[in-house]
Amino acid sequence: MVRITLAQIGEHETVALAVAELHKYLKTIDSELMIDERIYDAYDPDVKKVIWVGIDKALSARVPAVRDAKYDDAILIDIQKNAGVITGSNERSVLIAAYRLLKEMGVKWIRPTFDGEIVPHYAITGINLSICEKPSRRHRAICIEGSDGYEHIRELIEWIPRAGLNGYYFQFPLPFTFFDKWYTHLCNELFPNEGVSRDDVAHLVRSLRREIKRRSLLLHDVGHGWTVQPMGFDPDNWGTVSDEDVPADKREFLAMVDGKRKLHKNMPMATNLCYSNPVVRRTMNENIANYCEEHPDIDFLHFWLADGMNNMCTCEKCVDSPSDYFVAMLNELDEELTRRGLDTKVVFLLYCDLLWAPVKEKFKNPDRFVLMFAPIARGFLESYDELDPNAEYTHEPFRLNDGKNPVSLAENVALLRDWQKVFDGDSFVYDYHLCLWKTRDTCHFDMAKTLFRDMAALESIGIDGMVSCQHNRASFPSNLCMQMMADALWDKTADFEECSSAYLRDAYGADSEAVKEYFRAVSRLLELPPDNLPAADVQIAGYREVLRRTYEMDAIVSRNLAADHPAAVKKSWELMVYHREILVRYIAALIAKAEGDEDKCERLSLDVVEYARLTNAHTHRYLDIWNVYSLLMRNCKVGNVLKSSEQMLYVPD
């Protein structure tokens, strides 16, 4: 009989969770294993034959050194013959280390869903493992996007530390819009409208925040919304209202554009304010400070301006650049937070008009702030690793209300470098690889490779991590993109081909190389230059080659559906069937588009939508149908595919 004793250090709930997870999975691996649990106040080197789990000063010297233990992770696993330690730089790291041990013992989490885990079964005789590591990047988080239900996000939160990631981000003061899309089933009227109120969402989020903090994950919050509150509107969606709904006494707060103070596109969220107005600035900063006081669980409070560009105030008092006003407001916010004794980190946004650095304002307390670089218009056919860190890249000059979001990485990085001359502090990129309307591809292999390369190369542009703005249900047909992101954020020296092969082998079994080559081929054939498409006959030949390769996969898929796979692997092959049916319909629509038959393209696009709707009861955990709509609207240019509002598919200028 083999017995393992897990010795928990202290009562912290994250360490307790690490012990509970170790117990559960070790017992699942070996049902004959005997496991004892103990709780100690501190590590005691005289107690032998136990696995210590937790944080203790006596162990800290053995953990890799980090800049700040609150934000930086490091893990130590040192176990010989079922005795040793599992520790880290913080409680979150202990949980990450526990999952790392389980992965080394053969446990796999191939999707962030309840049916995505693979647990081997064998007799455990002795655990012997030594790992001492820290991740390459500080910031490794995921942001809410798309349409989401409680269970979707909870499963993702569970997966985050299993993948070595460390944070989650709720947009808006109340992320109502994301839950509303799911519970009303705006994307699929075949599901009953369940309805959800703002109060319902507030309580759902409260529960999810508890799950985040149970794991000691870093909580990011808000972003857009601060500019909406001074107008008196709800700061939780991209919806439209009538310009006449602006209260008369708030009209002076709006940016003056073309000589008028009015809503931009009738969207409060897209409307900037008159930032020279001291009442506007004071109101915004008081709202932010109040929110921080009311939500002490926040680690990173995001302060952004309006969503979009070319709607900045041109009144006679607004004589400085938007970024100068932004930095001035950030300094004022720091003063207010300091006055209230709040140490919340504030994330400021380089995005749209704010990509251009300030001309005269400086940060008075840089330690308060974190720079967030958001190159929303960039393409994904190039990677940061293609840029020369020694090259002198240039960008277009700032033109008030007459600018364009830069597309090339070189120009975006040139703008980032200007900001880095003003701010030499903590930073991360907020990028959009998995907001999948950015691509023509549905297999996402090339996107996974770009994402991996980008994460590995962040150091070359002076950035320390990533918060991924993404559909939270992005595991269709596989979870390759999210896993490659996690792998490269943890280890910048990792190899994409090795990591992708390892993941696909876990997800698909013996035929994983066939799947890999299929994904690679489809990505290559579909991911065409967005603004310089080849001739129609070249496009059509590529689309037909996709169909040929898809038909070739049918026999492999059928064979694996009949094989004796673990349940999670069987699900991977089942998702390939649903993906095939969406893909062949999508290709038919693309061919009609290339042939110039717009009516046929729209009919075939509706066929894609209909199939996605009919099967979404089986795919919703992995596929956000929001992505199917946006894929068609972007690549087939069919505006009538949707009956929904502009709010659902709003993309900034």
Question: What are the average pLDDT values for consecutive 10-residue runs of the chain, which has 653 residues?
Answer: 96 98 98 98 97 97 97 98 98 98 98 97 97 98 96 98 98 95 91 94 98 98 94 86 92 96 94 97 97 97 95 96 98 98 97 97 98 95 94 96 95 98 98 84 95 98 97 96 98 98 98 98 90 90 98 98 97 98 97 96 94 96 91 78 47 51
- Tell me the two tokens of residue 86: 């599992």
Q: How far, CA to CA in Å, does 366 sit from each of 226, 275, 420, 468, 514?
A: 21, 21, 12, 24, 50
- Rounded to the nearest 10 degrees, how much is the dihedral formed by the CA atoms of 99, 102, 107, 113? -20
- CA-atom Rg of the chain in angstroms: 25
- Contact yes or no for 128/79 (Cβ under 8 A): yes
Residue 443: CA count within 13 A, CB half-sphere: 26
Question: What are all long-range contacts of 483-488, with beta carbons under 8 Å and residues at least 24 apart?
Answer: 483/110, 483/163, 484/448, 484/449, 484/451, 484/452, 484/455, 485/433, 485/434, 485/451, 485/452, 485/455, 486/140, 486/163, 486/164, 486/165, 487/452, 488/136, 488/451, 488/452, 488/453, 488/454, 488/455, 488/456
- Contact yes or no for 30/63 (Cβ under 8 A): no
Alpha-carbon gap, residue 385 to 31, rounded angstroms: 47
* Domain map (residue ranges) of the chain: 3-133, 217-431, 510-641
Provide the pLDDT for residue 652.
Answer: 52
Provide the pLDDT for residue 301.
Answer: 98
Q: Which of 42, 46, 79, 74 is nearest to 61 (CA)?
A: 74
> Would you identify the CATH topology of the domain 3-133?
Chitobiase; domain 2 (3.30.379)
Convert 136-147 to b/e letters by CB count within 10 Å (16 or more is b). Answer: bbbbbbbbbbbb
Report the alpha-carbon angle 572-574-580, nearest 5: 100
Q: Which of 395, 377, 364, 434 is nearest to 144 (CA)?
A: 434
The phi and psi torsions of 348 (rounded to 5 degrees) equal -110, 150
Provide the pLDDT for residue 648.
Answer: 46
Alpha-carbon gap, residue 632 to 630, rounded angstroms: 5
The alpha helices in 437-594, defined as continuous H runs, are 445-456, 480-490, 496-508, 512-526, 536-561, 567-594
Alpha-carbon gap, residue 482 to 448, rounded angstroms: 8
Tell me how long the chain is: 653
- Contact yes or no for 110/568 (Cβ under 8 A): yes
End-to-end CA distance of the chain: 66
Provide the pLDDT for residue 634.
Answer: 83
Q: Is the pTM of this model over 0.85?
A: yes
**CB 114: neighbour CB atoms within 10 A?**
12
**CB 256: neighbour CB atoms within 10 A?**
17
Provide the pLDDT for residue 440.
Answer: 86
Q: How does DSSP assign 331-391, residue by residue? A: HHHHHHHHHTT---EEEEEE-GGGGSPPSS---S-GGGEEEEE--TT--SSS-GGGS-TTS
β pairing state of 51-53 and 34-40: unpaired
3-state DSSP assignment of residue 250 = helix
- Contact yes or no for 289/263 (Cβ under 8 A): no
Question: Can you list the positions of beta strands (E) in 91-143?
Answer: 108-109, 117-118, 129-133, 139-143
Alpha-carbon gap, residue 298 to 548, rounded angstroms: 51
Alpha-carbon gap, residue 196 to 472, rounded angstroms: 19
Provide the pLDDT for residue 436.
Answer: 67
Q: How far, CA to CA in Å, does 349 sit from each of 29, 141, 238, 365, 564?
A: 46, 16, 18, 17, 50
- Contact yes or no for 434/398 (Cβ under 8 A): no
Provide the pLDDT for residue 529.
Answer: 80
Alpha-carbon gap, residue 556 to 576, rounded angstroms: 10
612 backbone φψ class: left, alpha, beta (φ>0; ψ -120 to 50): alpha
- Residues 6+ away with beta carbon under 8 Å from 599: none
- With tokens 């309006």, the residue in question is 306
Provide the pLDDT for residue 77.
Answer: 98
Provide the pLDDT for residue 649.
Answer: 47
- Residues 6+ away with beta carbon under 8 Å from 210: none
3-state DSSP assignment of residue 528 = coil
